[in-house]
């Protein structure tokens, strides 16, 4: 049965009110699906997750944390057999979205610092106050963040990031370094609750306070991991000075709950930060390179920057020669930095226009939507046949003048403008976020480049929409100015 129908039935049984609306919320990287369900007087978040043990963990942890007055959503009702439950609706404003809204330049606003300190005020309550009496039997997939858990993360990084990003390494030597790193990290005190995915998208800003979600992967582990997860989250892109300030603030707060040795804590802290970064990069590789979900690729440049800072400024006092070679390759691979220009989290429509040669492959759609329009320019008069144009491109004045005077070219473009204009208006009305359009010709140098540029200019003249143009054969990427209004 459709999960929406099941959630509607569960809601009406619990609320004793008819559902007025049920709307699916944006999909994240997991298999969980969230729906906002409203009736005359109630609003809840309905969740469907096919992983039963994960549901049991989340419901069990939520009720336990509520007993300790921690800021987590209340679980109203659930049906484990159908893998659905209803939880408190805390709104849509994540810490990540909040910071992106108030951070208008490189300076990190004081308002944002205060919210991060509120988060750190709460973190030791999860780790220590509640963790002291936590029943780890409900944890899934492991009760502790042990050697096996760490090796899972490191191999995730190896197979889904390193291999897919074509980073060279000696597998045996890298495996040896993984084991050395794990041996080192397991020396840290690991008798605390480890939230596991403690990052800004799992923190909700609600009614001038912070609330916490998505802790179903929690287990017993070290204090350092969750703090590193928060402060070295890739796209949060916290300034290093702020990371240092928040690290000192954490020491002040955690001392209210237990005595810790700062030197001992720091000995392992940056190792756990590396482990977390590796785990996250594995996820970016799996979701981005493998599943072709472009949004995950936009985190890579930030993760690379964090790797570079830690390896250059925070020595681990443990010998990891092959891993250091791998990190050096990652840091100095320019292809891994290009994804930064492709980010689109505003929820608005973004248009990507490509030119390409049919002797190469058709450009991939990394948005996860499976592709877009492909227009074949090979029927058009080819300037490349003439010596005076052979070394020029569709961006040069002489070629543009040649094609401007070709009536079939202008008719071809006119038809395309009509099609794309209609699609743009439709996509805007329906809230779509990506449109991909590609032009191909024999060499990918003249007609396809010209057509891509002409369409971009046409759209910039009509709509205030982010437009990127990528000339695959020429290896040119550019953004067009967005000056027009609808």
Residue that finishes a domain, picked among 88, 114, 130: 88
DSSP H helices in 285-367: 294-297, 300-313, 321-331
Taking only the tens place, the pLDDT of each residue in 221-280 is: 999 999 999 999 999 999 999 999 999 999 999 999 999 999 999 999 999 999 999 999
Q: Residue 400 — pLDDT band, cuts 50, 70, 90? A: very high
What whole-number distance in Å separates Cα of residue 444 and Cα of residue 438?
11
- In this prediction, residue 347 carries a pLDDT of 52
Taking only the tens place, the pLDDT of each residue in 72-130 is: 999 999 999 999 999 999 999 999 999 988 987 778 999 999 999 999 999 999 999 88
Whether residue 486 lies inside any domain: the answer is no
Residue of 183, 184, 177 lying closest to 267 (CA atoms)? 184
Q: Which residue has the higher pLDDT, 161 or 429?
A: 161
Residue 420 CA, distance from chain mean position: 29
Q: To which H or E segment does residue 373 belong?
A: strand 373-376
Residue 320 shares a structural domain with residue 380: no
What whole-number distance in Å separates Cα of residue 298 and Cα of residue 265?
31
What whole-number distance in Å separates Cα of residue 458 and Cα of residue 145?
55
Taking only the tens place, the pLDDT of each residue in 291-301 is: 877 778 889 99
- In this prediction, residue 338 carries a pLDDT of 66
- Give the phi and the psi of residue 53 in degrees, each rounded to 5: -65, -35
> CA torsion 265→267→271→272, rounded to 10°?
-10
CATH number at residue 74: 3.30.200.20
Q: Is the peptide bond before 406 cis (omega within 30 degrees of 0)?
A: no
* 115 CB-contact burial (10 Å; exposed 0-12 / middle 13-18 / buried 19+): buried
Residue 78 shares a structural domain with residue 207: no
Residue that finishes a domain, picked among 295, 322, 341: 341
Residue 45 shares a structural domain with residue 105: no
What whole-number distance in Å separates Cα of residue 93 and Cα of residue 302?
22
Note the pTM of the prediction, 2 decimals.
0.75
Residue pair 213/202 in contact (Cβ under 8 Å)? The answer is: yes
Q: To which H or E segment does residue 428 belong?
A: helix 407-430
Q: To which H or E segment does residue 78 belong?
A: strand 75-79
What whole-number distance in Å separates Cα of residue 163 and Cα of residue 201?
28
- By residue range, what is the domain housing residue 45? 3-88
What whole-number distance in Å separates Cα of residue 163 and Cα of residue 150?
19
Q: To which H or E segment does residue 249 belong?
A: helix 240-254
For residues 269-289, one letter each, b for 16 or more C-beta atoms within 10 angstroms of the residue's C-beta and e for the rest, the string is bbbbbbbbbbbbbbbbbbbbb
Q: Residue 432 — pLDDT band, cuts 50, 70, 90? A: confident
- In this prediction, residue 298 carries a pLDDT of 86
Residue 229 shares a structural domain with residue 135: yes
Whether residue 485 lies inside any domain: the answer is no
Residue 296 shares a structural domain with residue 319: yes
CATH number at residue 219: 3.90.1200.10
Count of domains observed in the chain: 3
Residue 236 shares a structural domain with residue 270: yes
Tokens matching residue 307: 């790797």
Q: Residue 480 — pLDDT band, cuts 50, 70, 90? A: low
Q: To which H or E segment does residue 192 belong?
A: strand 192-194
Residue 348 shares a structural domain with residue 336: no
CA distances from 449 to 4, 177, 340, 469 (A): 46, 47, 23, 9
What whole-number distance in Å separates Cα of residue 303 and Cα of residue 291?
19
Residue 8 shares a structural domain with residue 132: no
Tokens matching residue 215: 């802790």
3-state secondary structure of 434: strand
3-state secondary structure of 130: helix
End-to-end CA distance of the chain: 42
Q: Residue 482 — pLDDT band, cuts 50, 70, 90? A: very low
Taking only the tens place, the pLDDT of each residue in 319-345 is: 999 999 999 999 988 778 766 544 444
Residue 328 shares a structural domain with residue 402: no
Residue 359 shares a structural domain with residue 470: yes
- Give the phi and the psi of residue 362 in degrees, each rounded to 5: -65, 140
Residue 354 shares a structural domain with residue 205: no
Residue 313 shares a structural domain with residue 302: yes
Is residue 214 pLDDT above 90, yes or no?
A: yes
- In this prediction, residue 292 carries a pLDDT of 78
Q: Which residues contact 152 (CB under 8 A, 6 or more apart)?
A: none
Residue pair 375/436 in contact (Cβ under 8 Å)? The answer is: no
Average pLDDT of the residues of the chain: 92
Residue that finishes a domain, picked among 314, 341, 368: 341
């Amino acid at each position: 049965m459709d999960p929406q129908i099941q959630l509607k039935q569960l809601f009406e049984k619990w609320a004793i009110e008819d559902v007025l609306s049920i709307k699916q919320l944006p999909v994240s990287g997991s298999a969980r699906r969230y729906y906002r369900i409203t009736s005359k007087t109630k609003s809840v978040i309905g969740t469907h997750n096919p992983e039963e043990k994960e549901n049991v963990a989340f419901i069990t942890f939520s009720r336990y944390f509520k007993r300790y007055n921690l800021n987590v959503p209340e679980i109203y009702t659930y049906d484990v057999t159908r893998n659905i439950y209803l939880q408190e609706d805390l709104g849509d404003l994540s810490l990540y979205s909040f910071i992106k809204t108030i951070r208008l330049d490189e300076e990190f606003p004081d308002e944002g610092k205060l919210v991060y300190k509120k988060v750190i005020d709460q973190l030791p309550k999860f780790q220590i106050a509640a963790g002291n009496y936590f029943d780890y039997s409900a944890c899934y997939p492991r009760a502790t963040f042990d050697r096996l858990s760490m090796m899972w993360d490191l191999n995730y990084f190896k197979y889904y990031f390193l291999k897919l990003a074509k980073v060279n390494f000696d597998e045996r030597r890298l495996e040896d370094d993984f084991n050395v790193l794990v041996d080192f990290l397991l020396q840290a005190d690991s008798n605390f609750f480890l939230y596991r995915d403690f990052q800004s998208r799992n923190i909700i800003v609600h009614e001038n306070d912070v609330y916490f979600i998505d802790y179903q992967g929690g287990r017993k582990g070290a204090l350092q991991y969750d703090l590193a997860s928060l402060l070295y989250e890739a796209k949060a892109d916290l300034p290093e000075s702020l990371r240092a300030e928040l690290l000192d603030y954490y020491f002040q707060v955690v001392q209210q709950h237990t005595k810790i040795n700062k030197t001992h804590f720091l000995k392992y802290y940056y190792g756990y930060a590396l482990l977390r970064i590796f785990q996250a990069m594995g996820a970016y590789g799996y979701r981005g390179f493998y599943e072709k979900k472009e949004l995950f690729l936009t985190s890579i440049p930030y993760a690379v920057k964090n790797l570079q800072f830690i390896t250059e400024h925070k020595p681990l006092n443990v010998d990891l020669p092959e891993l250091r070679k791998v990190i050096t390759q990652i840091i100095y691979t320019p292809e891994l930095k290009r994804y930064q220009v492709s980010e689109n989290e505003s929820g608005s429509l973004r248009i990507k226009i490509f030119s390409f040669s049919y002797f190469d492959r058709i450009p991939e759609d990394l948005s996860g939507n499976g592709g877009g329009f492909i227009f074949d320019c090979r029927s058009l008069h080819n300037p490349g046949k003439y010596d005076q144009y052979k070394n020029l491109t569709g961006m040069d004045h002489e070629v543009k003048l040649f094609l401007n005077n070709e009536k079939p070219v202008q008719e071809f473009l006119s038809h395309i403008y009509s099609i794309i204009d209609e699609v743009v208006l439709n996509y805007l009305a329906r809230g779509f976020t990506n449109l991909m359009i590609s032009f191909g010709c024999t060499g990918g140098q003249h007609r396809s480049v010209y057509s891509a540029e002409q369409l971009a200019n046409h759209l910039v003249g009509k709509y205030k929409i982010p437009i990127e143009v990528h000339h695959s054969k020429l290896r040119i990427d550019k953004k067009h100015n967005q000056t027009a209004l609808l």
